[in-house]
Amino acid sequence: MKIFARHTHIPEVDIIEFRGFLTEDTVGEVKKYLYSCLEKGIHNMLMDFKHVREIDRKVIKVLGDFGNDVRFRFFNVEENIRWQIRRSGRYDVFKKVYEGLDEAKVLSLFEKDVLKKRQIKKGRVERRSFPRSINISIPAEFNYIPNKDRMVTGSFTILNISESGAFVGDIKLTYRLTGRVFYPQQISGQKLYNVRFSLYENMPVIEVGVRCVRDTIIRGELLAGILFRDLSEEGRNLIMGFVSSNYDLGKI
């Protein structure tokens, strides 16, 4: 399975092209890719299924669950894939399929069906530019001070990283005195201290403070966008080199 992204003449809309077999084994890759799209501010997607040969019901579930955070439609969907989506019982996904339309017509319909309706309610959304980033899965630990009398340790998994920040999930907090572990439901606006992670097993540990600038909950899991604070020159160089050497735009 491969995923590619490309821009369109409509600044707010990206086309995400899936290729191959979207089997149960690809669920993690699909989820990670969509998480990175959220972090980059991509919330309007046309998913091109022209080269999709099979789709598992668990992948369909992931796509459906993301419907609360992104606006998307499918096109170039073969009859056997439509049947698999219909059979999964996720009619909220099935009704997002555009049938028998070329890319130009799909873009026009998406703009009318989704974007213009939203602009009436919320006004036009400007596209943001983001530094180069890559999808990864790296564990990190940190300290957190919810109040003056309490120190909490925590951990999360870095899902996407750039030289300025990261997108993280699997966020857990542990009270030092009791050892009680809990999963926060909100972390936006908070500062985390002594965040520690290593890009490779034998690379130096990077330690940095971070500020959580946004969060979202998808199927009960808290995901957060963080910005690095007080990142050392050595740490920045390590991250920049790591991202540059692994970067492949739009591809997993």
pLDDT in tens, 26-42: 988 888 888 777 767 77
Residue 129, Cβ density class (10 Å: 0-12 exposed, 13-18 middle, ≥19 buried): exposed
Does the model's pTM come out above 0.85? Answer: no
CA 64 – CA 127 distance, rounded (Å):
24
* Full DSSP string of 204-228: PPEEEEEEEEEEEEETTEEEEEEEE
- Taking residue 67's Cβ as centre, other Cβ atoms within 10 Å add up to 13
> Rg (Cα) of the chain, in Å, rounded?
20
Residue (of 82, 83, 8) closest to 46 by Cα position = 8
Q: Among 95, 122, 149, which residue terminates a domain?
A: 122
Are 18 and 59 contained in the same domain? yes
pLDDT tens-digit map of 125-149: 444 444 567 788 899 999 988 765 5
Assigned domain for 251 exists:
no
Are 115 and 14 contained in the same domain? yes
Assigned domain for 252 exists:
no
**Residue 192 to residues 12, 172, 207, 230, Cα–Cα distance (Å):** 32, 12, 11, 12
CATH code of the domain containing 148? 2.40.10.220
CA 196 – CA 60 distance, rounded (Å):
35
pLDDT tens-digit map of 78-91: 999 989 988 888 87
Assigned domain for 138 exists:
yes
The number of distinct structural domains making up the chain is 2
- Taking residue 40's Cβ as centre, other Cβ atoms within 10 Å add up to 20
pLDDT band at 116; cut points 50, 70, 90: low
What pLDDT was estimated at residue 55?
95
Are 157 and 227 contained in the same domain? yes
| DSSP type of residue 112 | I
- Full domain range(s) for residue 156: 133-246
Q: Among 99, 122, 145, which residue terminates a domain?
A: 122
What pLDDT was estimated at residue 23?
93
- Taking residue 74's Cβ as centre, other Cβ atoms within 10 Å add up to 24
